[in-house]
Amino acid sequence: MHMTATNTHEQPLDQIIRQQMNAISALNDSHLKQVLNYSKGFLDKVFPLAQGSHQDVKSYVVYYQHLLAFFADGSNSGLANPTQFVALCGSKEKPQSILLCNAGRHIELVISKQGEHGSHDSAGIEDVLLELSAAGQPQRWFSMIRGQLQQETNSCQSSACYRAKDGGDYHLA
């Protein structure tokens, strides 16, 4: 007599795969949140706001020649050191990216509320790019969100599209 064992507790493979995909997705979302929090902590240390934290920002806008961070309660704050804001891409009301500078090194905040990462962030931060290149070398950037080197920035793809806070062209040295 030949008997086959069947386990009534076995789940269909499709259901197991769906559960695993959901678990991995939750881990990825958790990891992204940790990376965004770390990146915003970096911004708080190197480019602090006069009041509040980059962690709590809902949007960034450029008002005349100043970067303003807006919070959920409607309040806003500029940078503690306003000269650190040097340029942007896109419109002042909804910048695609914001270029900050500290000690000759540029940081680019790439903003896209519909982006892969920005859609998960209250301020729409898609990436935080750190300039690694020294003057006279090809542009090299490190993506804090993706954790990898890049040859060019995400949003502008060339230094020619940056608009200085005074309205003129801004070129990376």
CATH number at residue 153: 2.170.170.11
Bridge partners of 88?
98, 163
- Cα separation, 76 vs 115, in Å, equals 24
State the pLDDT confidence band at 156, using cuts at 50, 70 and 90: low
Residues near 108 by beta carbon (within 8 Å), at least 6 away in sequence: 97, 98, 99, 100, 127, 128, 129, 131, 141, 153, 154, 155
State the pLDDT confidence band at 13, using cuts at 50, 70 and 90: confident
pLDDT recorded at residue 4: 47
* DSSP tag of 36: H
- Tally of domains within the chain: 1
Whether 171 is in a domain gets the answer: no
| Residues 150, 142 contacting (CB under 8 angstroms) | yes
Judged against a pLDDT cut of 80, whether residue 57 lies above it is answered with: yes
Whether 50 is in a domain gets the answer: yes
Whether 91 is in a domain gets the answer: yes
The residue range of the domain holding 76 is 13-164
Stretch 3-28: mean pLDDT: 66
* Closest listed residue to residue 85, CA positions, set 68, 74, 72, 99: 99
Whether 2 is in a domain gets the answer: no
| Residues 162, 87 contacting (CB under 8 angstroms) | yes
Stretch 145-155: mean pLDDT: 70
- Cα separation, 102 vs 74, in Å, equals 28
Stretch 43-68: mean pLDDT: 96
Whether 43 is in a domain gets the answer: yes
Judged against a pLDDT cut of 50, whether residue 171 lies above it is answered with: yes
Note the pTM of the prediction, 2 decimals. Answer: 0.78
* Strand, helix or coil for residue 19: helix
